[in-house]
Amino acid sequence: MSAIESVAQENRVFEPPENFKAAAAIRGMQAYNALCAYAQSDYEGFWADVSRQYLLWKHPFTQVLDESQAPYYKWFEDGLLNASYNCLDKNLFNGNANKTAIIFEADDGQVSHTTYAQLHARVCQFANALKKLGIKKGDRVLIYIPNSVEGVIAMQACARIGAIHSVVFGGFSAKSVHERIVDVGAVAIITADEQVRGGKTLPIKTIVDEALQLGHCDSVRHVIVFQRTGNPVAFKKGRDLWMHEIMQNQASSCEPEWVSSEHPLFILYTSGSTGKPKGIQHSTAGYLLWAALTMKWTFDLKPSDVFWCTADIGWITGHSYVCYGPTAAGATQIIFEGVPTYPHAGRFWEMIAHHRCSIFYTAPTAIRSLIKASESNPSAHPKNFDLTSLRLLGSVGEPINPEAWIWYYHNVGNSRCPVVDTFWQTETGGHLITPLPGATPLVPGSCTLPLPGIMAAVVDETGTEVPDGQGGLLVIKRPWPSMARTIWNDPKRFANGYFPADLGGKLYLAGDGAVRDKKTRYFTIMGRIDDVLNVSGHRLGTMEIESALVSHHELVAEAAVVSRPDELTGEAIVAFVVLKRTRPTGEQAKELARILRDWVSTQIGPIAKPKDIRFGDNLPKTRSGKIMRRLLRSLAKGESITQDISTLENPAILEQLKEIQ
C-alpha cells in the first residue's frame, strides 16, 4: 500500500486564553504531558487512580485490567457498582439535590426544569414499575423515544435495575426497529405516542406496532408508552401500557442493582460495512468512568456551567454527553426536543442566550447548515444574539472543515472560546483525541492530541508506525476502559473488524485514515478508510478535498466527496456540492463547476480536482444529520438505489445529484 498523502496545510494556531488556562482542570501543556507520562509509566496505576476518583464503588475492585482473553478485555472486573447510583444518588448527598439537572425546551418553546432530587425520584418510580412488570437484571429493553427527559429517565431506570438498554434513534424506520428488537431479544419496548419536530407531530408508537407485526418478536412482553402529544394511538390490551399510569403509586426510592464492572450497561447499534447493524456492547464501569472524566477534562466542567450537547439520545453522543456524562458530573444541562431551524434558523443562538448556556457541543453538519442559513437570512446570524455566556465550544460526529471551525470560533465564540474538536466513535465510548481547552494550542481542522491514557498511533497495513507527516491507519495501541467489549451475539465480527489479524490482533483499528503533523505531532483525521481515494496512484483523504471546496467562502456551503471507478486514473473524484445560492443548471452549472475545479487545484493541487461535480439543494442526510456517504457512492457510480432511504430527510434531492457537471 502506498501511504495516504496529506496535502492540506493549516498554519493558523489559536492559543488557549490565559483566563481560561488559569482556572482549567488541566492547566497548560506541562500538566497534560505529566498525566500522559504517568499513564505511560504505570498504565494500570493511572486507570486505577482515576476510577477511584470518579466512581463510587459498592465493592472496590482488586484487579485493574485483564488482557488474558484479548481482544475481549476486562476492566475492574471484580468491582461492584451501579451507573444510576453514580449519576443520581451521588447528587443527593453532595449538595446538588436541588440543583437543576435538566432544562428541557420543547419544540414549541415551552421550558421545564428538573432538579436532581426530582430526576432521582422519577427514575426510581419508573425502575420500580419495570421491576413490577418482571423486568430484571440482564433483560434487554429497547427504547424508541424522542429526545426528552423521559428518554433519560428510561435509560437511567434500566441501569438502576441492571437491565440492558438499547436505544434506537426516533427517526429510524419500522424495519430498522424490527431488526434491533430481534437481534437484541428485547423483553420490553419503551416508546412514545408521537414526537414533535419542527412544528409537526410524527408517529412513534405506530412504527413500533409495524415493527412488531414483522414477526419474530415473541420476546416482547410489554410496550410502555410515554404520552407526549395525547393524540389517539392504537393500544393492544395486556401488552401496551402508559408510562405515567404504571409510575403512579410507585415508591420514589429504589435500591440499585449492584452489578459487576463488566455487566453490559447498553447495546447501541451502528451501521456496518455489510449492511447488517452491529450491536456495540458497552460495560458499566469503564464506560461510565470515561463519560464522567471527559466531562471534566475535555469540557472543563465547572459547577456553575450550563452544558448543552445537541445530540439525540439515540446516538452514542447522546448516551455519553446527555444521559450519563453530565449527570455523573453533576452538571446542569439543556435537552432540546426540536430542530435548529424551527421556527427560525437562529433557534440555537436564541436558546443559548435564553438559558445562559456556557458550553455548547454540536456537529459540523449543524454548523455548516447554520452558516448557510445566516448568510441567506441575516436575522439568523449569531451576532444578533447575546452569546456572552459561552466559554467553550465543541464539535462532534465528523472532522470539522477548517473554514467551518473558523466561522464557529469567530461568530459563535466571539474569538474568545476554545473549540474542542473531539474525535471518537460509538465503539470508543467517549473522546479519544481532542484538545484540552486550558492546555492545547488549537489548529482548525485538527483534533490535536490523544487524551492521557489513550495510546494512539498512525500505522501502515502491516501495523508498523509510519513517520510523522505520512498518512496511514489510525489505531489505538493499548486497551482503555470505555472501549466496546464485543458485538452483541457476534464476537467473531468484533475481533475481525476492530482487531484484525493483519495488524497483529491487538491494535484497535478505528477505520479512519489519519496523519500526524511533523512539528506538533497533532492528529488530523483524513476520512474513513473506505473514503480514501486512490487517483492515479495518489491516495487522498476525502476530508481534505471537502475542506478545500468549503474554503471557497463566496460559493460553497457544504460539500461531500466520494470516488467512482475510472478507466484512466483508477478512481475519479466526485464532489457533491451545496452552494450558498440557488442550485445552478445548464451553462451556469458548468461554469461554477469549472471555477470550483480550479479552486481545488489551487488549494491542494491538480491531482485533487474533482472529475464530476454535482449540485444539490442539500446533501442526503439521516434525520440525525449524518451524510449518507454510501448513498453518494452509489449515485457516483450511477447505480440504482436499493438501500433503505427511510431515514433520509429529503429524498427529492437524489434526482438533482444525478446531474453531472
Cis geometry, peptide bond prior to residue 343 (ω within 30 degrees of 0): yes
pLDDT of residue 628: 84
Q: Where are the beta strands (DSSP E) in 212-336?
A: 222-226, 240-242, 259-260, 264-270, 278-283, 306-309, 332-336
What does the pLDDT average to over 114-140?
98
Report the 10 Å Cβ neighbour count for 443: 21
Burial 221-235 (b: 16+ CB within 10 A, else e): ebbbbbbbeeeebee
> Percentage of residues in the chain with pLDDT exceeding 70?
96
Closest CA to 454 of 472, 419, 428: 428
What does the pLDDT average to over 451-468?
96
- Which phi and psi (to 5°) does residue 315 adopt? -115, 165
- Give 399's DSSP letter: P
Please say if the pLDDT value at position 647 is more than 70: no
Closest CA to 461 of 470, 473, 474, 471: 473
Q: What torsion, rounded to 10 degrees, do the Cα atoms 517, 520, 521, 524 define?
A: -50
pLDDT of residue 273: 52
Report the 10 Å Cβ neighbour count for 298: 26
pLDDT tens by residue, 255-276: 999 999 999 999 999 866 555 7
Residues sharing a CB contact under 8 Å with residue 490, sequence separation 6 or more, in sequence order: 278, 279
Burial 502-530 (b: 16+ CB within 10 A, else e): ebeeebbbbbbbbbbbeeeebbbbbbbbe
Specify the pairing of strand 240-242 against strand 259-260.
unpaired
pLDDT tens by residue, 160-181: 999 999 999 988 888 889 999 9
Angle between the N-to-C axes of helices 116-132 and 149-161, in degrees from 0 to 180, rounded to the nearest 10: 60
pLDDT of residue 1: 40
What does the pLDDT average to over 598-611?
85
In the numeric block, which cell numbers belong to residue 70?
484479548
> Percentage of residues in the chain with pLDDT exceeding 90?
80
Which amino acid would we find at residue 634? S
